[in-house]
């Protein structure tokens, strides 16, 4: 009953204005709170999106790093193979030069003997 009695009373203009101002302030604070919550939610969503982007960048960086290590190891293998080829070429060159020297020495002797045999065969045929 006190409520009914309270509602039936007509408050004075000063207290109504003050009450309206307080309600307006409360409404303004509520609107600001809702706006702040919305901004907070948006910032949280932006943060999650950026965290996902960073995670993707880290994965890509790791992939590039792994590929770089693979390419580096392949390059070392290739450089080693090229160095081995160079060493084999040097030793092969020495062997070829030795064989050529031996071949030139024996072929001139063998050629002389062959020419003698050919001349003897020509004299016998004549």
| 0.75 surpassed by pTM | no
Distance of alpha carbon 29 from its chain centroid, rounded?
51
**C-alpha to C-alpha distance for 5 and 83, rounded to whole angstroms:** 107
Which sign does the torsion angle of CA 14, 18, 19, 21 carry? positive
Two structure tokens written together for 119: 């001349």
Per residue of the chain (126 residues), give pLDDT as tens: 444 444 445 556 778 889 999 999 999 999 999 999 999 999 999 999 999 999 999 999 999 999 999 999 999 999 999 999 999 998 888 888 888 887 777 667 767 777 787 777 766 655
Q: Which residue in this structure is represented by tokens 């101002």? A: 21
């Amino acid at each position: 009953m006190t409520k009914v009695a309270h509602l039936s009373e007509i408050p004075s203009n000063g207290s109504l204005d003050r009450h309206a101002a307080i309600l307006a302030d409360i409404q303004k604070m509520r609107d600001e709170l809702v706006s702040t919550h919305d901004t907070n939610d948006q910032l949280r969503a932006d943060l999650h999106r950026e965290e996902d982007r960073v995670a993707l960048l880290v994965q890509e960086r790791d992939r590039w790093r792994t590929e770089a290590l693979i390419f580096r190891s392949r390059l070392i293998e290739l450089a080693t193979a090229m160095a081995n080829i160079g060493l084999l070429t040097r030793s092969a060159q020495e062997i070829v030069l030795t064989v050529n020297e031996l071949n030139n020495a024996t072929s001139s002797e063998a050629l002389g003997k062959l020419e003698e045999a050919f001349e003897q065969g020509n004299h016998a045929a004549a």
